[in-house]
Structure 1
């Protein structure tokens, strides 16, 4: 990884950082209807620490300069004090009651106005996401507001200078894999967790708050508090649904008892008989209306579940589902999954694709809703469209429904995990209802019969001259975890050098491997294997948790598992609060005992080495 040096000018960088609760927050609403965040211990968002470190590194050298910006209550000044101690040159604190409870769009507007006030900049960096919400939208929204390209999540970053200007060369990590990207500056770049060491400084080295410049709404705009187009309307505390049976004693006996309990649970709660509900038939309402769905890569179960959900949403309204696809897409499966028509993009570069879709909507009318999966391409396109239509973005929803507001307009609202064991209800009051959905939470419906071809709109997409991308290098099958009936999840307590010890049990159970955020951030397993509030969710018949403390952010990703077996040597570990069966034992001994017990019961399936296991050994 190279950057500016004493012989090379530094860049003018801006790091946008966020302060987050240490334990993810309570998920409670205050009296004003906003999520309660005051009075909580906080820190700089872990991903923002990497953005901060890159901003300082890339600004090093003659004429370089780095600025850090955050938006938040008075207590957020501590994040800026630490950032100054880490080496940034100046700090801006956007602090005003008018911004309290701001959603992604209002936040992005304030941050982009702050960046503009600084004068010309070369690079704006943000964290890939935030651990308390995982919107992943602010960076792309800021890029759209500033008229800049957006790239992320970036790993190693090199600076190239030529007569044509300054270019960043990076390797981008996403749900689809990784690829090489060149982006001409200025640009907005989201930084991945593994890009560098995090920027940290002990509190005794933090400078006085007097070095920080405070900025209010009146200094960035017309002084009127901005109204967020999306809003948390209700937070429901989820009742505890798992009461663990704790096992102790010799690990061999624990393994036998755990399998007995699992078999008993399966007998009491067998898999549903028959096929799941079918995809509703094509909508033929009196008033032609649409639900537009960004399918991304049309293969796999994610787009299938998403289109089925859109069809269910559209059916009572007589609306049709328009699937946005790339050139050469086979329309047959899409029609069966719920699509009624196609919008075919000639290219998938996110910024021009968003512009083309906005123009199409301007000609053909506002759809009832615009939906996409919570994956990298869809996030950027949806975020840019949310800016263009001033509608905001409801992110990472696990369920959507329609309702009629007081003015008789059809609105979309949804639900998503929030804080510790809570679910937030999100509503939109923007002109266009835009949402990203976590497809792992959606029901996979029985495809409908469809024999006729689909009508299609061919949509020209302009070039993206600022960004050059290499081919994707796929490091995993993204849909593997969606299809798995049994999943073994590992935390930092399972060292990658010992992953081979899991292979016999994975083979016997035909199980796939999943991981916590810290495991994938360390590069021990592919990012697509991460489960939790900042990643993906699954619903296997059995989830076995090994070497994890049981952070609620991770365990929210398996809350729909039929049975959870947790293994931890500490009987007081929080992971047992999220499990049905608890084994108090060393994970290695427990795995060996479970493997032997399964072999004795003759439950051997066809030997199989999962792709994640192969990746772990590499």
Structure 2
């Protein structure tokens, strides 16, 4: 089975900062990590490979430093990694990103399954995975919490708010997975050493059969008008009294004065 996993290098959410002048994320000097949901996708692909045989290829679209995310996935056990990087891809929204990644999957060829994390923690759109499937004309199943493959048949458990949905489909298929599907393995020392020695190919726009007008900022209909940090909430008042009865009375008085009761 040939499996492609799409991953993204994202800013560590505890370190996200916004430029007040441009209203854009400040990425310089901010530590980056592999999107947590994508690690679950890698783990799901590795378990399928161990059960069914085959190969796992991890791809990402991003700047040259995104190779570090790919190396971490290689250290986990992925067989191959591929970086899609070109200035022409800069400023891409989810539509342009998914278009480019779908073109890369076509170029790889003979892919049976694509696995993505449910969403990226920096954008939280959950759009790229399903859009890749649309570009390829593949079946897609989102929010997957369990995968079982038997020959060309794929049986899936899809988590919903009110319960679980059991879905059966055929290969090829694109899946987006939840964190509940597994616990990602840690990279081994041997795997890390092997990943550091491995050459990661870089594909540019010239390597893909793509329309330049559908790449990057040109191919992105989404426009971000403003990004801002929500104002910090004002801390509530702590009511102190000699007894619970007195505290309740003071609270009732303050709520009445504020016309909340």
TM-score class normalised by the smaller sequence: 0.7 to 0.9
Cα gap change, 1:14 to 1:30, in 2 (>3 Å): farther
TM-score when normalising by structure 1: 0.38
Per-residue CA distance 1:146-170 (angstroms, 9 max, x = gap): 1011102111211122xxxx11112
**1:470 corresponding residue in structure 2:** none
Per-residue CA distance 1:458-499 (angstroms, 9 max, x = gap): xxxxxxxxxxxxxxxxxxxxxxxxxxxxxxxxxxxxxxxxxx
Equivalent residues of 2:88, 2:205 under 8 A apart: yes
Q: Secondary structure of the residue that 2:10 maps to in structure 1?
A: strand
Q: How far apart are the structure 2 equivalents of 1:264 and 1:221? A: 70
Q: CA RMSD in A?
A: 3.1
Equivalent residues of 2:116, 2:175 under 8 A apart: yes
Q: CA deviation at 1:66?
A: 0.8
**1:366 corresponding residue in structure 2:** none
Q: CA deviation at 1:16?
A: 0.6
Equivalent residues of 1:17, 1:126 under 8 A apart: yes
Equivalent residues of 2:18, 2:24 under 8 A apart: no
**1:230 corresponding residue in structure 2:** 222
Q: How far apart are the structure 2 equivalents of 1:239 and 1:197? A: 35
Q: How far apart are the structure 2 equivalents of 1:81 and 1:44? A: 10
Per-residue CA distance 1:132-186 (angstroms, 9 max, x = gap): 221011111011001011102111211122xxxx111121002343111111110
Equivalent residues of 1:247, 1:254 under 8 A apart: no
Equivalent residues of 1:82, 1:200 under 8 A apart: no
Q: 2:70 aligns with which of 73, 80, 87?
A: 80
Moved more, 255-264 or 234-243: 255-264
Equivalent residues of 2:76, 2:188 under 8 A apart: no
Q: 1:26 aligns with which of 7, 17, 22?
A: 17
Q: How far apart are the structure 2 equivalents of 1:254 and 1:123? A: 64
Q: CA deviation at 1:64?
A: 0.5
Q: 1:181 aligns with which of 163, 167, 189?
A: 167
**2:48 corresponding residue in structure 1:** 58
Equivalent residues of 2:101, 2:132 under 8 A apart: yes
Q: CA deviation at 1:93?
A: 0.9
Higher relative contact order (CA 8 A, sep 6+): 2
**1:576 corresponding residue in structure 2:** none
Q: How far apart are the structure 2 equivalents of 1:78 and 1:191? A: 22
Q: CA deviation at 1:83?
A: 0.3
Cα gap change, 1:34 to 1:237, in 2 (>3 Å): closer
Q: How far apart are the structure 2 equivalents of 1:256 and 1:73? A: 62
Equivalent residues of 2:100, 2:210 under 8 A apart: no
Q: Paired residues, what number?
A: 254
Equivalent residues of 1:69, 1:91 under 8 A apart: yes
**1:126 corresponding residue in structure 2:** 116
Cα gap change, 1:40 to 1:172, in 2 (>3 Å): same
Equivalent residues of 1:35, 1:232 under 8 A apart: no
